[in-house]
Structure 1
Amino acid sequence: MKKGQLGFLTGTHTVNDLYQGAIPAMLPFLMSERHYSYAAVSGLAFAASGVSSLFQPLFGVISDRKSRPWLVPAGFTTAALGVVMAGLAGNYMVTWLCVALAGIGIAAYHPPATSQARAAGGSSQKAMSVFSVGGTVGGAVAPSLVTLVIGSVGFDGSYLLAAPALIMAILWALKGPWMRRRGYTKAAPSVTAASTKPAADPARQTDDWRAFGRLVAVIVGWSIPFVTVTSLVSLHAQRDLGQSTAAGAATLTSYTAAGAVGTLLGGWVGDRYGRMTSVRIGYLVALPALLGIAWAPAFPVLVASATLFGAAMFLPFAAQVTLGQDYLPNRPGTASGLTLGMAMAAGGLCSPAFGWLADSSGLRAAFYALLLVFVAPVVMALRLPDRVLASPDAPSPEPVDATNTSSTQ
């Protein structure tokens, strides 16, 4: 495990996903100051998650064909630009386009950064969970940062939100040459793809598209409640339980911060008990936690349920990323782009529908409908097959050993 490189990439992930989390954190302020409806707010959630997810597989294919490490800083700086411009925009359409620009930047970042992180961390689930938790921490910090900036100086101070991306871009300019001297950025995609398929076992080289398709279906079902809860839970605290804007932001922070804990815990469980254990426990716990969000009669119940839901939803996160890459060992960037990208598009695409339901029937009705939708991916997640490939850092096994190793469990 290359800890220095993994740590630096984790820092870039924190900055990138800070802007992903900044968009839902801005929604309550947009509703109060620009008088947007639930449907309009959900449309912005689609611009952020849906557009980003649709572009992400494209960037995955691009990163598989040729190493393009510059996509990492270009991604998070574009995301920052889109968020800042959305805060300064004067009308809904311009705001929507700016949020979509931020989503495209987020999409450009994830496939190359995830492939590089897998190369730096090897086959360790804990290593991928550390990289993943960087993004979760960024999402957790975002509501507090947005509340501090916009709550204090209004949308005119949105340019202050660009500071983290500017600092990280400078650090990347300083660290980038060091990483290239170590032969890291050029080798990252090929290390992930090639070293996980020993020549002695041709079966290991095959891409299992059928199993990968099942995983994508599960992540589609995961993304719908994830995106919808992210965009509506703070409004639920304010509109249904009579809490302040700060309390709504605190609920969102608790939800995303718990995701960081769940991501790290999932990596530990995956290394110790197998990654499918973290997948199954996560989905089984998330279902009743979502019921708690929908039912919550008081603010403490909502916070507790949202915290549990955030932790449970991210327990299988690192496992899903590495599982997708092991299903498609020849196309790690494509696997990252599809699992983190197109599958996530469903959440953004469906978010406006739940917004319309909230406009017509209330937020609780939207959350109960979300609960029914989530049952299907929970059942499917319990039936996902595992696939064990050789460690990227391990030498190719001798032919006599390869006969005793199964590429699929």
Structure 2
Amino acid sequence: MLSVGHGCVDVYQGSVAALIPFFVAERSYAYAVASGIVLAASLLSSVAQPFFGVLTDRWALPWLLPVSTLLGGAGVALSGLSGSYGLTLVFVAVSGVGVAAYHPESARVARIASQGSHTAMGWFSLGGNIGFAAAPFMVTAAVATGGLRLTPLLILPATVGSVLCLPVLRALARAETAAGRGSPVPPAKREHDDTRSFVKLSCAVAFRSVAFMGLSTFIALYARQRTGGGTTSGTVALSVLYLGGAVGTVLGGRLATRFDRVAVVRGAYLAGIVAVAGTVLVPGPVLYLFVALTSASLYVPFSLQVTLGQDYLPSRMGTASGVTLGLAVSVGGVAGPLIGALADATSLRTALLPLILMPGLACLMVSTLREPPVHRLVAPEPVPERQP
């Protein structure tokens, strides 16, 4: 249920990028202006996500799961109703806050449910990848014929996701009641924190974000140019980018059961250099193959970086989750308008060329990291009843 619920939330991260071609076509936005919409969603989300992470370090806040799911959906659903660029930014920013509120607490709960299993956390992340992948099809189905005025239809995944959260809340409440515990979360010892390694890991996440978010913002438009296709070719390219992430996430969890996480992350970023270069430089239908390879190589580290961050900062797992998950979208969102401005001044191909460097810089950041010990979060165990 957590995995499916995660997908229902991450639909709205994918929807913002999927709506960009429709904003460009219907409102004649330039590249830089259109990428500002992605920035609005990601920037506020990035600021809010560590804040919610700090809160979940102090208190368990499972009620955030359904509330934040609905908030994320409502913002995207309202984004197409007004022709005002300012109101559009406000609505997607509201959606970003909902997404930000969801991830740190859901990562904490998923860590409890997974009992430290990398494979299980991979499945949790897979749900988000599938949500990303489904977003272009949902957006196209909703607005391709009727235009942006039909974006309210996109509230449906949020409704489903919020309902799926309710059994999770009940299960957590029963566990806490049985254990006789309240909502405060006891902190781990701070001497176990490896802040230096966490900072290096965060830099790697930031570089990955620039590569992935830069491509996700412009790949639909770029695919049309490179393949000579129409709207469908752009939708397919964006979906391949997201579906490749689903494959990469599962593969990352599997590999981490055989090799240490740092080695898997390092190897994935090395492969990512070649994959991103192929996406930017190779013309024609082969573009789709390199898009899939790029997505897989950038998503193999995704769930592993979340658990690595939690293990480098075991006394502040919520903060670690908020930072790693927040940076995964925020820095790329900030870079989006810069890429768009460069594309307006030169060409989209020229603007995407710097993305080839990003996986290499991420690999450099993780090259000196060591595998940390795994710190387990456990669910409260029932207090045994006294025998008469």
Q: Do these two structures clear the TM 0.5 threshold for a shared fold by scoring above it?
A: yes
- Deviation of 1:277 (Å): 2.7
1:350 aligns to what?
Answer: 335
Give 1:2-401 correspondences, 5 Å limit: 8-183=1-176, 190=185, 194=188, 206-298=192-284, 300-342=285-327, 344-392=329-377
Aligned to 1:200: none
Deviation at 1:152, TM superposition (A): 2.7
Query: How far did 1:179 drift?
Result: 3.6
CA distance in 2, matches of 1:31, 1:38: 8
Q: Is the 8 A contact 2:63 2:169 kept in 1?
A: no
Name whichever of 332-341 and 156-165 sits farther off: 156-165
What is the deviation of 1:349?
A: 1.2
8 Å contact kept, 2:311–2:372? yes
Q: SS state of the match for residue 227, structure 2? A: coil
The one-letter amino acid of 2:127's match is: G
Asked whether the equivalents of residues 226 and 283 of structure 2 are also in contact (C-alpha less than 8 Å), the reply is: no
Structure 1: any 5+ residue segments left out of the alignment? 1-7, 198-203, 395-409
Q: Is the 8 A contact 2:112 2:377 kept in 1?
A: yes
**Aligned partner letter, 2:336:** S
- CA deviation digits over 1:18-41, x for unaligned, max 9? 111011001001100111110011
Distance (Å, rounded) in 2 between the aligned partners of 1:379 and 1:72: 35
Cα 1:9/1:188, change in 2 over 3 Å: farther
**CA deviation digits over 1:113-154, x for unaligned, max 9?**
001101110121101101111100000000011011111322
> 1:50·1:347 contact (CA, 8 Å) conserved in 2?
no
| Number of positions where the alignment pairs a residue of Structure 1 with one of Structure 2 | 377
Aligned residue type for 1:32: A
Moved more, 175-184 or 147-156: 175-184
Report the AA paired with residue 366 of structure 1: A
Paired position in structure 2 for 1:201? none
1:406 corresponds in structure 2 to: none
- Which residue identity is paired with 2:354? A
CA shift digits 1:242-295 (9 cap, x unpaired): 211111011100110010010000000001122123201210111111001111
TM-score (norm 1): 0.87
Deviations 1:193-235 (A, max 9, x none): 65xx7xxxxxx95211111111111111111111100101111
Q: Give the % identical residues.
A: 39
**Counterparts of 1:29 and 1:144 in 2: how far apart (Å)?**
13
Secondary structure of 1:152's match?
A: coil
Where 2:370 maps in the other structure, the secondary structure is coil
- Secondary structure of the equivalent of 1:87? coil
CA gap 1:374/1:172 in 2 versus in 1, 3 angstroms: closer
| CA gap 1:94/1:393 in 2 versus in 1, 3 angstroms | closer
3-state DSSP of counterpart to 2:48: helix
When residues 373 and 126 of structure 1 are mapped into structure 2, their CA distance, relative to the original with a 3 A threshold, is: closer
Give the 3-state SS of the residue equivalent to 2:144 in structure 1: helix
Partner Cα distance (1:188, 1:261) in 2: 36
* Structure 2 counterpart of 1:404: none
Structure 1 stretch 344-353 or stretch 58-67: which is displaced more? 344-353
Q: Find the counterpart in structure 2 of residue 399 from structure 1.
A: none
Question: C-alpha offsets along residues 33-62 of structure 1, whole Å, 9 cap, x if unaligned?
Answer: 111110011111111222211111001001
